[in-house]
Amino acid sequence: MERQEITDSINTIEQALQEARKVPNGAYFYDILWGTILAIYYLANYFSLSNPDAFISNFNHYYWVLFPIGGIISAIRSKQDDRKETAKSLADKIYLFAYSGFAFAYITLYLAAEFNGYNAIIVPVFCSLLGLTVFVTGGIVKESLSIVMGLFGMLLGAYMLNMDVSHQYLFASLVSVMVSIIPGIKMMFSRV
């Protein structure tokens, strides 16, 4: 009888985990939002660096404004989500910690490269870290498109090491679309 109770308990836990995976989370919104912000940021930097017109190239000092705007939009959405949700799903927690870790690691590497003169590696490292984050979270929540696109981002980040900086910006824009926006749209329609 005791063996049957253990089996029933395990089945109940497995069923609860399966049901928890079906609960939609808001990760798709943040993927689409930040993928769009990053794509615009990198594309604008590409045009600034590749355009000989001084008027256009001087705008690159103002593109950073996109990030606080994204932060404000994220904070507003997060407050709305907190009011609607009674508890955070496991997927929400995974995304929160993975992307927080990504942001911290990227900022640390960015500052280290900036202060030590390794600016040419920053954009490829960004793509590889973003790809790694999407790859890992996709693997944990069993989102196959995120796994594939994350792998794509990591590989393209490594490939970009031999490019000039302006083309790195162009490819980083592509990575932002492929690694964040496309999986985000898929998750939105599949209610993940």
Count CB neighbours of 9 within 10 A. Answer: 10
Integer CA distances (angstroms), 186 to 30, 69, 78, 158, in order = 13, 24, 21, 26
Local confidence pLDDT in tens for the 192 residues of the chain: 577 777 776 777 666 556 555 555 578 888 999 999 999 999 998 988 888 777 777 777 788 889 889 889 988 988 888 787 666 677 777 888 888 888 888 888 888 887 887 778 889 999 999 999 999 998 888 889 999 999 999 999 999 999 998 899 999 999 999 999 999 999 888 865
Q: What is the pLDDT of residues 150-168, one digit of tens each?
A: 999 999 999 999 999 889 9
How far apart are alpha carbons 94 and 127 in whole angstroms?
Answer: 20
State the maximum Cα–Cα separation within the chain, in Å, rounded to a whole number. 81
The pair of structure tokens assigned to 74 is 């994220």
Angle between helical axes of 27-50 and 182-189 (0-180°, round to 10): 160
How far apart are alpha carbons 30 and 46 in whole angstroms?
Answer: 24
How far apart are alpha carbons 167 and 15 in whole angstroms?
Answer: 48
SS3 78: helix
Q: What is the pLDDT of residues 54-70, one digit of tens each?
A: 777 777 778 888 988 98
- Which residues lie closer than 8 Å to 44 by C-beta, 6 or more apart? 59, 60, 63
- Asked if residues 18 and 160 have their Cβ atoms less than 8 Å apart, the reply is no
How far apart are alpha carbons 92 and 14 in whole angstroms?
Answer: 19
